[in-house]
């Protein structure tokens, strides 16, 4: 067991206050899953969700429920077919939304926006002003690093 000093005790007390604050914020009461978006999180995320494409049927899927389903899958690591049916849209709908967001770059846009907001909250500039490269990074860049995969739909057979 570690030795305790007066300064450590104050730090532990301060950390316990922070821990209690985090517990209060992240406590999930009522139905739902721990991975579900809170109202403040959804308010931040909702403007980044693209509207339904023009033409065709109007969107009937609750996008918050679909995002909750995606977050549930990412958090638990369960297969798509094990997605609970009680509070989420059908798994095929959730999968199609996930893939469309992936193909259209929505995930990258969400990540970039949240990353900039986090940097600003930490008192930093929104975008990094410096980068660190080592010799290994330069070598892999010269050889041509792994290509990014583009998702392309194959034409339907006639």
Q: What is the pLDDT of residues 120-147, one digit of tens each?
A: 888 887 777 777 777 776 566 566 655 6
30 Cα distance to chain centroid: 23
Taking residues 31-52, what's their average pLDDT? Answer: 89
Quick one: tokens of 49?
């969700």
Give a yes or no: residue 54 inside a domain. yes
Q: What percent of the chain has pLDDT over 90?
A: 36
The pLDDT, as a whole number, for residue 7 is 46
Residue 26: pLDDT band by 50, 70, 90 thresholds? low
Domain total of the chain: 1
Q: State whether the Cα torsion 76-77-78-81 is positive or negative.
A: positive
Taking residues 138-157, what's their average pLDDT? Answer: 61
Give a yes or no: residue 81 inside a domain. yes
**Domain around 65:** 12-104
Give a yes or no: residue 94 inside a domain. yes
Taking residues 17-37, what's their average pLDDT? Answer: 73
Give a yes or no: residue 111 inside a domain. no
């Amino acid at each position: 067991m570690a030795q305790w000093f007066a300064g450590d005790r104050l730090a532990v007390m301060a950390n316990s206050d922070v821990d209690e604050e985090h517990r209060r914020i992240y406590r999930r009461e009522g139905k739902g899953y721990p991975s579900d978006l809170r109202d403040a999180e959804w308010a931040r995320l909702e403007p980044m969700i693209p509207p339904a494409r023009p033409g065709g049927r109007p969107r009937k899927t609750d996008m918050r429920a679909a995002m909750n389903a995606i977050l549930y899958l990412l958090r638990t690591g369960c297969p798509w077919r094990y997605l609970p049916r009680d509070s989420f849209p059908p798994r095929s709908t959730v999968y199609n939304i996930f893939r469309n967001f992936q193909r259209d770059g929505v995930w990258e846009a969400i990540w970039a926006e949240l990353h900039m907001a986090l940097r600003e909250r930490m008192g930093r500039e929104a975008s990094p002003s410096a980068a660190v490269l080592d010799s290994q990074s330069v070598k892999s860049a010269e050889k041509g690093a792994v290509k990014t995969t583009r998702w392309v739909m194959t034409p339907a057979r006639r």
